[in-house]
Structure 1
Amino acid sequence: MCGVTTVKRKRMPRAEREQQMIAVAEQVFTERGYATASMDEIAELVGVSKPMLYEYFRSKEGLLLACIRQSRAALREVTEQATAGAESAEDALRLGLQAFFVFIRERREAWSLLRHEMALIGTPASDEIEETRRQQTDLITSLMSGHFDSEDTLRAEASAEFVVGACERLAIWCERFPEVTPEIATGYAMDLLWTGLSQRAI
């Protein structure tokens, strides 16, 4: 049995029950891996019947997709909140990067689902993970439009893709070094990224 505590079943609104199922599934998928995780185990840990899981999500893949979509929404929310009050391009980039690195430190299960796409290539889950990258790229492109010269839209998008790809690899590297805090990781990223981007700041 994995390290998730079994939830004692009680009557609750559908939306709340769904969130409970997703939270447990997220941990099980992270600990077991998607292929090994079973709906029986997830149902037992949540404290519901397996047919109820299927009623909510139709399949194990449907449950995985729900987990990924929720993680993506959470990442978008923290990024937007962090950059909302930025007064300069440099401040906006730093706040956005730090929000990302804090997210992956505090939401390890969610981050694990978002990054372990190699085993899911060719599946709807792979598409959902790529949509997460697209989301972050769009957010950064939008941010640049407010703080950078936005006439060259292709360059703006290319820059955003570079930022997303670089930070994703840096985040994976950080997993090997727990002593690298979100603040340190943000500093490393800014040292490299801001050198080029600062030339385009308004």
Structure 2
Amino acid sequence: MSPTAKTPARRKRMPRAQRERQMIEVAEAVFSERGYTAASMDEIAERVGVSKPMLYEYFNSKEGLLLACIQQARTELRQVTEQAVVGAPTAEEALRRGLHAFFLFIRERRQAWSLVRHEMTLIGTSAADEIETTRRQQTDLIATLMSGYFDASDVDGIQAAAEFVVGGCERLAIWCEHREDITPGIVTEYAMNLLWGGLERLAGR
């Protein structure tokens, strides 16, 4: 080899955690665009810039990759909602902050939200259970929050209220998908106007 010849630069290997995160982000986009059934591991691998066998090495299957996407979104949603209510001086303010964090997450993470919204196409897969676990996470988080402000002995009342909040907010999030003019701040106030009256009475028992 001549002194001036250069050997090809070896591509730096990406750390496993970083590569996994990259795969999840790309898969989330493809699942959102194509739908779970039509999405292919070939396309995901091509967009990531890895081989299809590497995807299977990390996630075992297409369903395993989908589960990883939902689990990642669930972790992030819990983090943002928990952080939002820290230091809230009243139950009303805690609810407002938590709702705003949820609607902001839905607006900023549309692809992740679409995986949850299209759950009917996932019935019969483990992903359906993961979606319900995400709901359960939010319901439990709200119930725990309420217990800190309301009469904690009214377990059923608090649980029912938490279920109602989560169900109602899901529908509002779907409504907002096609309304760019409805900002997270606006929909938060709509939700507060509808929800707080009943919750305030619960707090006053």
TM (norm. structure 2) is 0.93
Could you tell me which of 160, 163, 170 is aligned with 1:161? Answer: 163
Q: Is the 8 A contact 1:167 1:189 kept in 2?
A: yes
Is 1:87–2:89 an aligned residue pair? yes
Paired AA for residue 46 in structure 1: V
**Structure 1 residues 10, 107: CA separation in 2 closer, same or farther (over 3 Å shift)?**
farther
User: Match of 1:122, SS?
Assistant: coil
Q: CA deviation at 1:59?
A: 0.3
Q: CA deviation at 1:178?
A: 1.0
Paired residues for 1:127-166 under 5 Å: 127-166=129-168
For 1:75 and 1:121, locate their aligned partners in 2 and report how far apart those are by CA, in whole Å. Answer: 22
Q: Percent identity?
A: 72
Q: CA deviation at 1:115?
A: 1.8
For 2:20 and 2:183, locate their aligned partners in 1 and report how far apart those are by CA, in whole Å. Answer: 33
Q: Is the 8 A contact 2:63 2:125 kept in 1?
A: no
For 1:187 and 1:96, locate their aligned partners in 2 and report how far apart those are by CA, in whole Å. Answer: 12
For 1:127 and 1:76, locate their aligned partners in 2 and report how far apart those are by CA, in whole Å. Answer: 17
Residue aligning to 1:186:
188
The runs of 5 or more residues in structure 2 that have no matched partner are: 1-10
Give CA deviations for 1:92-119 in whole Å, capped at 9, x if unaligned. Answer: 0000000000000011111111221011
For 1:182 and 1:12, locate their aligned partners in 2 and report how far apart those are by CA, in whole Å. Answer: 36
For 2:72 and 2:12, locate their aligned partners in 1 and report how far apart those are by CA, in whole Å. Answer: 23
Q: Is the 8 A contact 1:71 1:114 kept in 2?
A: no
Could you tell me which of 85, 88, 105 is aligned with 2:107? Answer: 105
User: RMSD over aligned Cα, in angstroms?
Assistant: 1.0
Paired AA for residue 178 in structure 2: R
Q: CA deviation at 1:121?
A: 1.2
For 2:178 and 2:19, locate their aligned partners in 1 and report how far apart those are by CA, in whole Å. Answer: 35
Q: CA deviation at 1:176?
A: 1.9
User: Match of 1:155, SS?
Assistant: helix
The runs of 5 or more residues in structure 1 that have no matched partner are: 1-8
Paired residues for 1:14-163 under 5 Å: 14-163=16-165
Paired AA for residue 162 in structure 1: F
Give CA deviations for 1:52-108 in whole Å, capped at 9, x if unaligned. Answer: 000000000000000000000010000000011111000000000000000000111
Residue aligning to 2:5:
none
Give CA deviations for 1:1-40 in whole Å, capped at 9, x if unaligned. Answer: xxxxxxxx75111111000000000000001111111000
Q: How many residues in Structure 1 have an aligned counterpart in Structure 2?
A: 194
User: Match of 2:88, SS?
Assistant: coil
Q: Is the 8 A contact 1:115 1:129 kept in 2?
A: no
